Amino acid sequence: MYAIINIAGQQFKVEKDQQIFVHRLPNKEGDSVTFDQVLFVENGDKIDVGAPAVSGASVTAKVIEHVKGDKVIVFKKKRRKGYQKKNGHRQQFTKIAIDGITLNGQKAEKAKTAKPAEKTEATKAAPSKKAAEVSENLVSRAENRAAEANVEINIEKVLHSIGTALKADADDLKLINGIGPVFEEKLNELGIYTYEQISKLKAADREELSAIDGITREKIESEEWVKQAKELLKNK
């Protein structure tokens, strides 16, 4: 099940145990917070649409940490006036983890599905893949930077595939053979900062990255960026 909630004028689609970034909240790290502006709830075959909010519905979450986003440069200049001003801004965000969705005062349970057939030993041994964590705010900023750099790439599709990351959590991508300072900077501009993101690049993502000057799908595959990133992740 999932819900769409309104937090400080922004709408988020959330599920239990999901982690998202929202504009900074006044709560301290570790605090629990409740959002009652629930606009939509889907629970199996049952759908509740608010007018504007769903009566008796709320979403509880826990504050994990407060962080700052990438720096944005604001430059103002007036021609022939001798006036120019440069400012930097880093938007503050709060990372929260969704604890649960409540309907009519009771925590909603996930809709039960038919029990799948017993898995074979080979299937049981296979590790489960963790879904990529995506922040729509970071995706939007990456799209703006791609537009400013005139890079024709569907970066939204790529980041929804490999996940988003903060600049503060950036890895040294230059340790991957084939990625130098120039390519690292270009990847960072598009929101790609970590080994984990590189390790999740699928064929379609590599094709999209071919829009970056000097980077091709063949280069990524022949130099085994994904394999190198996985090895670097093991040694972190």
Q: What pLDDT score was predicted for residue 123?
A: 47
**Residues with Cβ within 8 Å of residue 108, at least 6 apart in sequence:** 1, 41, 43, 100, 101, 102
C-beta neighbour count of 164 within 10 angstroms: 22
**Residues with Cβ within 8 Å of residue 195, at least 6 apart in sequence:** 171, 173, 176, 229, 230, 232, 233, 236
Contact 155, 212 (CB under 8 A): no
**Residues with Cβ within 8 Å of residue 151, at least 6 apart in sequence:** 190, 211, 212
The mean pLDDT values, 10 residues at a time, for the chain of 236 residues are: 92 94 93 94 89 91 93 91 92 94 73 54 48 74 83 87 88 91 89 92 88 88 90 87
Q: What pLDDT score was predicted for residue 214?
A: 86
Q: What pLDDT score was predicted for residue 121?
A: 53
What is the rounded CA–CA span in Å between residue 67 and residue 61?
A: 17
Q: What pLDDT score was predicted for residue 118?
A: 59
Q: Token pair of 141, please?
A: 């900023």
